Structure 1
Amino acid sequence: MAVMTWVIVAVTCAVSLALTFSGNENLAIAAGGVIPARVSGLIVMPPYLAVVPAWLTPLSATLVHAGPVHLGFNMLMLAQTGRLVERLLGPACVALIYLLGAYAAAAAQWALDPASMSPMVGASGAVSAVLGSYAMFFSRRKARAIGPIPGRVVDIAWIAGGWIVLNIVVALVSTAAGFPIAGAAHIGGFLLGMILAFPLLPRRRRPS
């Protein structure tokens, strides 16, 4: 049983739904979301919004969502991929991928526009990290070698490239529609998950 995955899902749902139905969602977004300009030190938050230190907002942001639909999609994706990755790597590694993925996602979004005042919330970046590891382990695509480039490297490049292109397109379309999605965060988290996948795999399970 994937205990860690279900613990993350349960805690995230409990906190996010409590904030939504208590009417404190907007306040939580401002206080707990990742605001690039705040991370850059360009703005100082008023005391009532500075309860969460800037360095901790990549984690607090995973507990705040823009409504039940946003929350449901993220948790469904985590439940589907996280439990399989956890069975392979164990609960501690899944927690590590999720936590580091949250920071990688925040770093990518910050790098896109360090002066942005728009708060980033949601667990999408952290979930994308788990998805990145999942893609490395369970992808059925088997690419052929290209010259001296091994097939496995080509396979990784296809997976990473496809995810990057998909999220760039989604980010552009969502921005044009007036509902911007943090595409850079998804990309940063996913790539981090790919990078961590095999180093965390127990040696006895590594392909020879």
Structure 2
Amino acid sequence: MDGRGWRDWPATAIIAAVTTVVSLWLVYSGQLDAAAVKAGVIPLRLTSPGLFDPALFPVPAWATPLTATLVHGGLAHLGFNLVMLVFCGQAVERAIGAGPLALLYGVGAYAGAAVHWLFDPQSALPMIGASGAISAVVGAYALLYGERRAKALGPVPAHLVHVLWLAAAWIGIQFLIAVAGMGGVSVAIGAHIGGFLAGLALARPLLLWNHRHA
């Protein structure tokens, strides 16, 4: 034993593990539909909170951007999200640290929910999944590692080319899952956009903060 506790684990690993355990339990216990309604982001709950009985919706509306990240529509939905989280999260965490990575993930969840709400404030359909939060991690990865992974395209600099390609690929994967009908999940474009923009905005400030406190 090396004396390391769970607090020494990478934040990416903890987030992925918790998400996997909760999501799989909901899928295989038959609780997925109920969890989607109770823990998912319902824009109308934010627009008109008085319409919803607190006894039937025990999770406060303000907390649903976080609880929704633990609910996935099926194995494909969960699997693709985890692949992007682990691949991009490990690299981003090496650059900015575990605490800032967790903060980025949380802010991404709320940013994604906020833009999703802006797209349709009257929607009563629940949004589930960690796509908004993971989009923030993907956005940070694109900005921090873009120049190493892409080439300039005419007047468009390499880092911007990488950002655009990664954003398109990430949303495209989610769209293909929806078209294929895997997991019964639809694509919340607003959540992807909101999370991705949050990642772009926070990547460099968190990188500088981590270096100052290293």
TM-score band w.r.t. shorter chain: 0.7 to 0.9
Q: 1:80 to 1:172 in 2, by over 3 A?
A: closer
Counterpart code for 2:150: R
Asked if 1:201 is matched to 2:207, the reply is: yes
Asked if 1:130 is matched to 2:152, the reply is: no
Give the structure 1 partner of residue 150 of structure 2.
Answer: 141
Match of 1:81 among 88, 91, 99: 88
Q: TM-score, normalised by structure 2?
A: 0.81
Asked if 1:67 is matched to 2:74, the reply is: yes
Q: 1:28 to 1:122 in 2, by over 3 A?
A: same
Q: What are structure 1's unaligned runs of at least 5 residues?
A: none
Give the structure 2 partner of residue 37 of structure 1.
Answer: 44
Q: TM-score, normalised by structure 1?
A: 0.83
Contact 1:126–1:189 (Cα < 8 Å) also in 2: yes
Q: Residue 201 of structure 1: SS of its match in structure 2?
A: helix
**CA shift digits 1:133-164 (9 cap, x unpaired):** 00111122253895xxxx7xx45554555566
Contact 1:163–1:187 (Cα < 8 Å) also in 2: no
Offset, 1:48: 4.3
Contact 1:33–1:121 (Cα < 8 Å) also in 2: yes
Give the structure 2 partner of residue 191 of structure 1.
Answer: 197
Contact 1:33–1:58 (Cα < 8 Å) also in 2: yes
Distance in 1 (alpha carbons) for counterparts of 2:126 and 2:55: 16
Offset, 1:174: 4.7
Distance in 1 (alpha carbons) for counterparts of 2:65 and 2:175: 20
Q: What RMSD in Å do the two structures reach over aligned CA positions? A: 3.0
Q: 1:145 to 1:100 in 2, by over 3 A?
A: same
Alignment length, in residue pairs? 200
